[in-house]
Amino acid sequence: MKKKILLSLILGLVGCNNKSDTNSQTASSETVEEKRQRTSREFLKKYLPYPDSLKFRNQIGLCGEVNYMKKLGTYTGFKRFVMVDQNIIFIETYTDPDEFEFAWKSSCKRK
């Protein structure tokens, strides 16, 4: 009887340990995701006019949609963007459509 109780305790502790590893892996992957989003947002803020006007949505990693104010004071409407390299971002309608679609399909896989 004592062996069964000891075995149950050991299995319970192992199960708890595995859950904490899974939680820490999830937390670290969320941190990476947040960092990638922040990187692309910072780059767009440097590149686009009126950086305080930028609005983001549907962002996953280095891909998403951005709405920003043009120099004339009007907003563009949400446009998809892809950050393909540290200094290269493609924005829908401002990039060759074939190049943009290729970059979007190869870099922006939704989960």
Q: For the segment 32-47, what is each residue's pLDDT rounded down to a tens digit? A: 888 888 988 999 998 8
**Percentage helix, strand, coil for the chain under 3-state DSSP, each rounded to 5:** 55, 20, 25
The pLDDT of residue 16: 45
Task: Tell me if 21 is assigned to some domain.
Answer: no
The pLDDT of residue 26: 54
State the total domains in the chain.
Answer: 1
- Across residues 1-19, what is the average pLDDT? 39
Reported as half-sphere exposure (CB side, CA atoms, 13 A), residue 54 has a value of 20
Task: Tell me if 13 is assigned to some domain.
Answer: no
Tell me the CA distances in angstroms from 19 to 16, 23, 24, one per residue in order. Answer: 5, 6, 9
For residue 56, the enclosing domain spans: 34-107
Q: Can you give the pTM of this predicted structure?
A: 0.68
Would you say residue 111 has pLDDT above 90? no
CB 83 within 8 A of CB 91: no
Task: Tell me if 22 is assigned to some domain.
Answer: no
- Across residues 14-25, what is the average pLDDT? 48
d(CA 65, CA 100): 13
Task: Tell me if 23 is assigned to some domain.
Answer: no
